[in-house]
C-alpha cells in the first residue's frame, strides 16, 4: 500500500500543511468555470442590449410609419386612388407597423385598434377598382395581393382570438372584430367582389380558393382563434346583460366565424384534384381538435347556426377522419388548453366535450327550434356510432382512472348491497356535471334508440366517400346491434361516473321500456351462451363474434383456468394453515376436497345444466364485445326488475318466460361466482357490478316466490366449493388482515361469501354462522373478556310479572357486553325469590319468556301482518309509547343474544322487516308479503284501463294511531297532486316505498342497532329473509324422530332400554307432525327443531324419570299412572312418569301439550 504522502506536491518548500495535487486541480477547474460563466454572462448582456436596441429602433420606425400612414389615410378620405395605390400606400405600411406593434407582442393598444378599424373600413369600401381587383391583375399584382391577403387574414384571426366582451374595452373590441370578420368573409367569398367581370371569374375563383386553402391549412390560426373566441361567449344560464347593438355585433362575429370554419369543408368537396388540393383530413382533424372540444359549443351558439354545422358535408368528414386518425386526434385533444374555462368542471377532458358536442350536433335537442329532437338529415349512422364509441371509450378510460374514483377493493367489500355503488367522484364535484350530462339528453329518448335500431337492416350510406376512400373504411357499411350495445354500455358507465346520485336512471328507464329491446338483446346473447339450444330470429342479432379475438381469448383463458382449478384446494389449504398455524408439510391437501360437505339437495348429474360453460371463467374469460353486451343487459334488466310486479313476472311472463328467466339466472349466477375467483380488472368491473345487482334481484324474487330449482343457485360452486369451516375462517382472517401479503388469495373467498352466499347450501351457511360465533367467543376469551366460569357474567333479578320492564332496565345499557353469560334470579308473583341456581337453563327461560311477552301484539311494540302466516312487524304506533324505540332496540339485543347462544325463539318476522335487518331495500312486489289487500289495490290502479282521475286519488297516505288519523304526503304538496294516467306509476311506487321502507325505517334501524351489538351484520348477510327466520326459530314444521332419539339424554333411572322409553318413541312415531311440534314446544319452548339437527340443541333434550308407584291390585285391574308429564323448558327436560301402556302415555302427553303449561302440571 502506498504511503499517504507519496502523491503530495510541495509548492512552497517544506510547509507544514501542503496542498494535494487533486485539490489543486479542483481549485483550478473551479476558477476556469467562473471565468467561463463571466464570459457567457457578458455575451448575454451584450445580446440583450442589441435586442433591446433593435426593438427600440423597430418600434420608433413603426411609430413613424404609423404617423405617416395616418396622414395618407387623411388624404384618402378626400381623394379616390387605385387599388395598386391602396396596396402600396395603405396596406403595406399598415401591415408593417401593426405586425411590429401588436402581432409580435400579442396585445392590441387603443391607437392600433383605431388604425385597424380605419384600414378595414377602407378595404371594405365597394368600388369598381377596390382592393380585390388586384387578384386578377398582373402576375406581380397577384403575388403581392396574395401575400398581403394572407397577412390580413392572420391579423384578423389574431383580433378574433383577442376579442373578449368581458374586457374593459369590450365594446371597442367587438366593433373591431366585427369589421375584421366582415372583411375576411368578403375576401374569401367571390360573390362579394363587385369588380370582377365574367371573363376574369375563373382567375378570381382560383384566388379565393387559394385563400380558403390557406385558412384550412393551419398557418392562419383559424381554428385556434375561433376556439378562443367562442370560449368567451356567454355560457348556458349566464345572466350577463349586453346592449342590443353589442348583441347584434356579437351575433355577426359568431356567424362569420362559423362561416369561415365551414368553408374549407365546402372547398374540399369540389376541389378533388390539382396540385393545391386541400387535405380534408387535416381540415377535419383541426375542426375536431379545436372546435368540437369547446365546452358547451352548441349551447353557446345561436340555434340558426347549428343547422349549418349539422350538415352531412361537415359531420361525415369529421366522423371518418376521427376513425381513421383516432390515435393522433385523441392525443392532440389531450394538449388542448382549457385554462380559460373557469366555470366548468376541470375533470371533463376535451374528449368528453367532443363527445357531448357531436351527440348534440347529430341528434339535436328538444329546445332546438330549427330541428327539435331528431337526427340530422342523411346522417351516416355507421360512422356516427363508431365515432361516438371511440370518444366514449377514451373518456371512460380517463374518468375511471382519476384519484377520487373508488378502487377495485370497494367492489369486493360492498358488492352485497343493492344501492348504486358504481364509480364515485369526489364530494362536491357532482353538482357541476348536471349541465354536461344534460347535453346527453337525446341518448335517454326512445326515438334515439328506435332510429338506430331501424337502420340496422339498411346498408350504411357513407357520405363523403367521394373524398375519403381508405381501405380501412371499406368494412363500414352496416350498423350492427353490437355497435348500439357498445354505445349504450359506454353511456351508462359515463352517467354513473359523473352522477352517482341519479346515475344512468334516465337511460336505463328508456332501455327497459323500449318494446322488444331486452328480448332482442337476450336473443343475441343466447347465440353465444347456448349454441344450438336457442332459436334466434334474424341474422342481425348474431353479432357476438364481430371481433374474432374473443374465441382465442376464451381458449387461452381456459388453459390458464385448468391450472388454476388444479391448485384451487391448495390455496384453501395454504390459507387454512396460516390461520391455524400448522405447517403445510404435515397436512394432506387433498383431504380438504375429499372431506368437503356435500349438499343434500344437489344431484351431480343435473347441476351441470345450470353451470354455463362460456362464462365459467368470469368477466376475464369472455371477449370485450360479450362483456359489453352482458353489462348492458344486466344493467337494463335489473332496472326493469325493480318495477316489474309479480303478476307480470309469473302470470303474464313478460318480458321473458319462466324458462328464459331460469336461463338468465344461471348465466348471471355462474358469471358472478367465477368472477371473484379472478382479479377483477377495470374492464370487468362495470359488468360485475351490474351482474351482482341483477343477480340479487332475481335471487330475492326466487326466495319469495320460487321459479328456479334450488340446484341452479348451487351449481357454479358444486365442484370447487371450499368446506364451510375453511371459508368462514378464511373470510375472518382476511377481514382482520386487509392489505397483508395474503390479500391476493383471500379476497375472492370473502367476496363469494359476502356477495353470493347462496352458492353454499343452507346447512353449510348455518355452519359458517356458528363458526363465526365460535371464533368470536375465542377472540373474546383471548382478550380476557371470558376468563373462566362465572367471570364477567351479568347477574340480574327479574320479577315474573314484569319480565320485559326488568330486563330492559338491567340489560339495555350493556351493549356488546350482552355476549357474556347472564345469571338470572326469578322473583315469583308473590314477591319471593325462586329457589335454584342458574347453570344456563334459567337464562334460556328468561330469553324465551321476555320475547314471548314483548313480541306479543298485546304489548304494542309489534303487530302481525294481514297475511295468513301472521308474521311479526313493528307496530307504527310504538313510537308513541314510552321508550318505544328504545324497547325495540333492546329487543334487537335479545334476538341477537338468542342467535349468539343458539337458543331458538318460536317467532318469525315479516319478510320486509328482515330485509331491512339485512341492509336491503324493498320494492313494490314485496308489498304482497306485508299487505296483500293494498298490493291488490295498487295493481288495480296500475292496470286500470280508464282514466285514473276517476278514482279521485292524490299523493297522500292515511295512518291511524290510537283513534287519530294522520295524513302523510308522499311528496311535497302531495295532497294537491291528483293521480293521473301519466303519474300513476310514481304514485304506486311512492305508496310502496312508504309502506316498505320509509314507514318502517325508524323501527328497523333501532332493532338493527341492538342486533348489531351482539351479531355482526356481515354474518347475517349469509341468509335471505326466509332463512333468517329459520335461523331464529328452527327448521321445518316436523321432527326427525330418529335424530331426536340419537341425541336424547336419559336421567333419573331411565335408559334407552327402559319399557316406558320404548313406548314413548313408539307414540312419538305415531304422532302427527303438528303433535310432534307441540311436544317439542312443550319441552323446549320452540316448536321447531334446530337447523343442523338435535345434536346442536342446547341444553340437550332430556327425558327424566318420575317414579309413580301404584298398588299391585290397581295394576292387576288394568289401571295405569294418573300423573301427567311435565317439563322444564329452561333445561329442555321432559319429566315422564313410568307409564305402562302406550295408550295411557299418548293420552297423557296429548293432554299435557295441549294445555300449554309445564311446571304446574302434576
The catalytic residues are 1130
SS (H, E, C) 656-668: CCHHHHHHHHHHH
CA-to-CA separations, 820 to 442, 792, 841, in angstroms, rounded: 61, 7, 15
Place of cell 337492416: 457
DSSP conformational letter for 235: P
Distance of alpha carbon 493 from the chain centroid = 7
Please name every residue paired with 833 in a beta bridge, in sequence order, or none if there are none.
827
Distance between CA atoms of residues 68 and 65, nearest Å: 5
What is the Cα gyration radius of the chain? 43
Please name every residue paired with 826 in a beta bridge, in sequence order, or none if there are none.
798
Q: Do 351 and 332 touch, CB atoms closer than 8 A?
A: no
CA-to-CA separations, 661 to 510, 519, 616, 980, in angstroms, rounded: 21, 11, 19, 32
DSSP conformational letter for 882: T
Q: Is 470 helix (H, G, I), strand (E, B) or coil?
A: coil
Q: Do 354 and 288 touch, CB atoms closer than 8 A?
A: yes
What backbone phi and psi angles, to 5 degrees, belong to 737? Answer: -135, 45
DSSP conformational letter for 40: H
Alpha helices in 957-1024 (DSSP H): 984-993, 1001-1012, 1017-1020
Handedness of CA 894, 895, 896, 899 (dihedral sign): positive
Distance between CA atoms of residues 923 and 513, nearest Å: 18
What backbone phi and psi angles, to 5 degrees, belong to 1102? Answer: -130, 140
What backbone phi and psi angles, to 5 degrees, belong to 1058? Answer: -65, 145
Handedness of CA 773, 779, 781, 786 (dihedral sign): negative
Distance between CA atoms of residues 143 and 149, nearest Å: 10
Distance between CA atoms of residues 653 and 644, nearest Å: 10
Residue 655, preceding peptide bond in cis (omega within 30° of 0):
yes
Q: Do 4 and 17 touch, CB atoms closer than 8 A?
A: no
Cell digits of residue 322: 376521427
Closest to 59 (Cα-Cα) out of 90, 92, 102, 108: 102
Beta strand 862-864 with 872-874: parallel, antiparallel or unpaired? antiparallel
Q: Do 819 and 900 touch, CB atoms closer than 8 A?
A: yes
Distance between CA atoms of residues 161 and 106, nearest Å: 10
Distance between CA atoms of residues 98 and 65, nearest Å: 10
Cell digits of residue 592: 380438504
Handedness of CA 92, 98, 100, 103 (dihedral sign): negative
Query: 795-828 burial by CB neighbour count: b if 16+ within 10 A, else e?
Result: ebebeeeebbbbbbeebbebeeebbbbbbbebbe
Q: Which long-range contacts (CB under 8 A, 24 or more apart) does 838-844 make?
A: 840/1098, 840/1099, 841/1099, 841/1128, 841/1130, 841/1131, 842/1130, 843/901, 843/1130, 844/901, 844/903, 844/1085, 844/1098, 844/1099, 844/1129, 844/1130
Closest to 359 (Cα-Cα) out of 507, 256, 545, 252: 507
Amino acid at each position: 500500500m502506498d504511503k499517504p504522502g507519496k502523491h503530495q506536491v510541495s509548492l512552497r518548500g517544506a510547509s507544514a500543511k501542503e496542498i494535494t495535487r487533486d485539490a489543486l486541480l479542483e481549485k483550478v477547474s473551479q476558477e476556469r468555470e467562473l471565468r467561463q460563466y463571466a464570459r457567457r454572462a457578458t455575451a448575454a448582456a451584450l445580446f440583450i442590449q442589441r435586442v433591446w436596441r433593435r426593438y427600440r429602433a423597430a418600434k420608433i420606425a413603426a411609430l413613424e410609419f404609423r404617423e405617416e400612414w395616418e396622414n395618407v389615410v387623411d388624404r384618402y378620405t378626400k381623394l379616390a386612388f387605385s387599388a395598386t395605390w391602396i396596396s402600396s400606400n395603405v396596406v403595406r405600411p399598415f401591415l408593417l407597423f401593426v405586425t411590429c406593434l401588436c402581432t409580435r407582442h400579442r396585445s392590441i393598444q387603443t391607437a392600433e385598434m383605431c388604425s385597424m378599424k380605419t384600414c378595414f373600413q377602407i378595404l371594405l369600401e365597394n368600388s369598381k377598382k377596390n382592393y380585390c381587383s388586384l387578384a386578377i391583375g398582373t402576375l406581380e399584382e397577384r403575388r403581392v395581393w396574395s401575400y398581403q391577403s394572407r397577412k390580413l387574414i392572420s391579423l384578423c384571426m389574431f383580433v378574433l382570438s383577442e376579442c373578449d366582451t368581458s374586457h374593459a374595452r369590450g365594446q371597442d373590441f367587438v366593433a373591431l372584430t366585427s369589421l375584421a370578420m366582415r372583411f375576411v368573409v368578403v375576401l374569401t367569398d367571390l360573390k362579394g367582389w363587385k369588380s370582377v367581370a365574367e371573363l376574369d371569374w375563373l382567375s378570381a375563383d382560383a384566388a379565393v380558393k387559394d385563400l380558403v386553402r390557406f385558412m384550412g391549412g393551419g398557418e392562419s390560426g383559424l381554428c385556434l382563434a375561433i376556439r378562443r373566441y367562442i370560449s368567451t361567449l356567454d355560457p348556458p344560464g349566464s345572466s350577463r346583460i349586453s346592449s342590443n347593438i353589442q348583441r347584434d355585433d356579437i351575433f355577426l362575429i359568431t356567424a362569420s366565424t362559423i362561416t369561415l370554419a365551414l368553408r374549407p369543408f365546402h372547398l374540399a368537396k369540389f376541389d378533388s384534384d390539382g396540385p393545391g388540393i386541400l387535405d380534408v383530413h387535416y381540415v377535419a382533424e383541426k375542426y375536431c381538435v379545436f372546435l368540437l372540444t369547446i365546452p358547451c359549443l352548441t349551447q353557446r351558439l345561436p340555434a340558426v347556426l347549428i343547422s349549418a354545422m349539422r350538415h352531412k358535408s361537415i359531420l361525415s368528414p369529421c366522423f371518418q377522419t376521427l376513425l381513421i386518425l383516432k390515435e393522433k386526434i385523441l392525443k392532440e385533444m389531450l394538449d388542448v388548453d382549457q385554462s380559460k374555462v373557469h366555470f366548468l368542471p376541470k375533470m371533463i377532458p376535451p374528449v368528453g366535450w367532443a363527445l357531448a358536442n357531436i351527440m348534440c350536433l347529430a341528434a339535436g335537442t328538444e329546445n332546438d327550434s330549427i330541428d327539435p329532437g331528431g337526427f340530422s338529415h342523411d346522417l351516416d349512422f355507421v360512422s356516427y356510432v363508431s365515432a361516438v364509441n371511440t370518444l366514449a371509450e377514451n373518456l371512460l378510460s380517463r374518468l375511471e382512472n382519476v384519484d377520487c374514483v373508488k378502487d377495485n377493493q370497494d367492489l369486493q367489500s360492498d358488492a352485497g348491497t343493492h344501492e348504486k355503488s358504481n364509480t364515485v367522484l369526489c364530494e362536491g364535484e357532482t353538482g357541476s356535471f348536471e349541465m354536461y350530462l344534460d347535453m346527453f339528453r337525446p341518448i335517454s329518448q326512445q326515438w334515439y334508440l328506435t332510429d338506430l335500431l331501424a337502420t340496422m337492416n339498411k346498408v350504411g350510406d357513407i357520405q363523403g366517400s367521394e373524398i375519403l376512400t381508405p381501405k380501412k373504411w371499406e368494412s363500414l357499411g352496416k350498423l350492427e346491434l353490437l355497435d348500439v350495445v357498445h354505445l349504450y354500455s359506454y353511456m351508462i358507465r359515463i352517467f354513473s361516473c359523473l352522477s352517482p346520485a341519479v346515475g344512468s336512471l334516465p337511460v336505463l328507464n328508456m332501455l327497459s321500456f323500449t318494446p322488444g329491446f331486452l328480448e332482442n338483446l337476450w336473443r343475441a346473447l343466447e347465440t353465444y351462451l347456448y349454441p344450438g339450444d336457442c332459436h334466434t330470429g334474424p341474422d342481425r342479432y348474431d353479432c357476438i363474434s364481430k371481433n374474432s379475438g374473443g374465441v382465442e381469448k376464451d381458449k387461452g383463458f381456459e388453459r390458464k383456468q385448468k391450472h388454476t382449478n388444479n391448485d384451487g384446494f391448495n390455496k384453501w389449504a395454504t390459507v387454512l394453515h396460516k390461520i391455524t398455524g400448522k405447517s403445510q408439510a404435515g397436512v394432506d391437501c387433498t383431504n380438504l376436497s375429499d372431506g368437503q360437505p356435500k349438499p343434500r339437495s344437489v344431484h351431480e348429474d343435473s347441476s351441470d345444466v345450470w353451470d354455463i360453460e362460456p362464462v365459467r371463467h368470469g368477466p376475464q374469460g369472455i371477449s370485450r364485445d360479450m362483456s359489453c353486451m352482458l353489462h348492458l343487459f344486466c344493467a337494463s334488466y335489473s332496472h326493469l326488475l325493480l318495477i316489474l310486479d309479480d303478476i307480470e313476472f309469473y302470470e303474464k311472463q313478460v318480458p321473458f318466460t319462466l324458462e328464459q328467466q331460469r336461463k338468465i339466472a344461471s348465466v348471471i349466477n355462474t358469471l358472478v361466482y367465477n368472477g371473484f375467483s379472478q382479479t377483477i380488472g377495470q374492464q370487468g368491473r362495470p359488468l360485475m357490478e351490474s351482474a351482482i345487482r341483477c343477480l340479487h334481484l332475481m335471487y330475492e324474487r326466487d326466495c319469495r316466490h320460487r321459479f328456479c330449482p334450488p340446484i341452479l343457485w348451487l351449481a357454479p360452486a358444486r365442484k370447487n366449493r371450499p368446506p364451510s369451516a375453511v371459508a368462514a375462517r378464511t373470510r375472518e382472517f382476511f377481514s382482520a388482515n386487509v392489505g397483508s401479503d395474503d390479500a391476493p388469495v383471500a379476497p375472492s373467498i370473502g367476496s363469494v361469501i359476502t356477495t353470493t352466499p347462496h352458492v353454499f347450501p343452507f346447512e353449510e351457511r348455518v355452519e359458517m354462522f356458528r363458526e363465526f360465533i365460535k371464533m368470536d367467543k375465542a377472540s373474546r376469551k383471548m382478550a380476557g373478556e371470558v376468563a373462566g366460569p362465572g367471570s364477567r357474567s351479568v347477574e340480574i333479578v327479574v320479577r315474573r310479572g314484569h319480565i320485559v320492564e326488568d330486563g330492559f332496565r338491567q340489560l339495555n345499557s350493556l351493549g356488546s357486553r350482552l355476549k357474556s353469560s347472564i345469571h338470572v334470579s326469578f322473583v315469583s308473583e308473590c314477591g319471593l325469590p325462586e329457589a335454584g341456581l342458574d347453570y344456563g337453563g334459567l337464562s334460556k327461560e328468561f330469553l324465551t319468556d321476555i320475547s314471548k311477552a314483548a313480541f306479543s301484539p298485546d304489548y304494542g311494540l309489534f303487530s302481525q301482518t294481514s297475511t295468513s302466516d301472521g308474521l311479526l312487524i313493528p307496530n307504527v304506533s310504538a313510537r308513541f309509547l314510552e321508550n318505544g324505540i328504545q324497547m325495540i332496540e333492546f329487543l334487537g339485543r335479545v334476538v341477537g343474544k338468542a342467535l349468539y347462544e343458539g337458543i331458538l325463539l318460536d317467532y318469525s318476522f315479516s319478510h320486509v322487516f328482515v330485509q331491512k335487518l339485512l341492509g336491503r331495500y324493498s320494492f313494490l312486489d314485496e308489498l304482497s308479503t306485508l299487505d296483500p289487500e293494498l298490493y291488490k289495490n295498487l295493481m288495480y290502479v296500475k292496470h286500470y284501463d280508464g282514466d285514473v282521475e276517476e278514482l279521485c286519488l292524490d299523493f297522500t297516505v292515511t295512518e291511524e294511531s290510537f283513534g287519530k288519523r294522520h295524513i302523510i304526503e308522499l311528496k311535497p304538496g302531495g295532497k294537491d297532486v291528483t293521480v293521473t294516467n301519466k303519474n300513476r306509476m310514481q304514485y304506486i311506487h311512492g305508496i310502496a316505498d312508504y309502506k316498505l321502507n320509509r314507514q318502517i325505517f325508524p323501527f328497523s334501524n333501532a332493532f338493527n342497532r341492538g342486533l348489531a351489538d351482539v351479531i355482526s351484520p356481515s354474518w347475517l348477510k349469509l341468509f335471505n329473509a326466509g332463512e333468517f327466520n329459520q335461523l331464529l326459530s328452527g327448521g321445518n314444521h316436523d321432527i326427525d324422530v330418529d335424530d331426536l332419539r340419537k341425541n336424547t339424554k336419559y336421567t333419573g333411572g331411565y335408559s334407552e332400554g327402559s319399557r316406558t322409553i320404548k313406548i314413548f318413541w313408539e307414540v312419538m312415531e305415531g304422532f302427527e307432525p303438528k303433535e310432534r311440534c307441540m311436544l317439542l314446544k312443550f319441552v323446549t319452548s320452540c316448536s321447531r327443531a334446530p337447523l343442523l339437527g338435535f345434536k346442536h340443541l342446547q341444553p340437550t333434550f332430556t327425558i327424566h324419570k318420575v317414579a309413580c308407584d301404584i298398588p299391585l291390585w290397581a295394576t292387576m285391574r288394568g289401571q295405569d299412572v294418573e300423573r301427567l308429564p311435565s317439563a322444564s323448558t329452561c333445561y329442555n327436560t321432559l319429566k315422564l312418569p313410568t307409564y305402562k301402556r302406550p295408550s295411557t302415555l299418548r293420552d297423557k302427553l296429548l293432554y299435557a301439550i295441549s294445555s300449554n303449561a309445564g311446571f304446574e302440571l302434576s
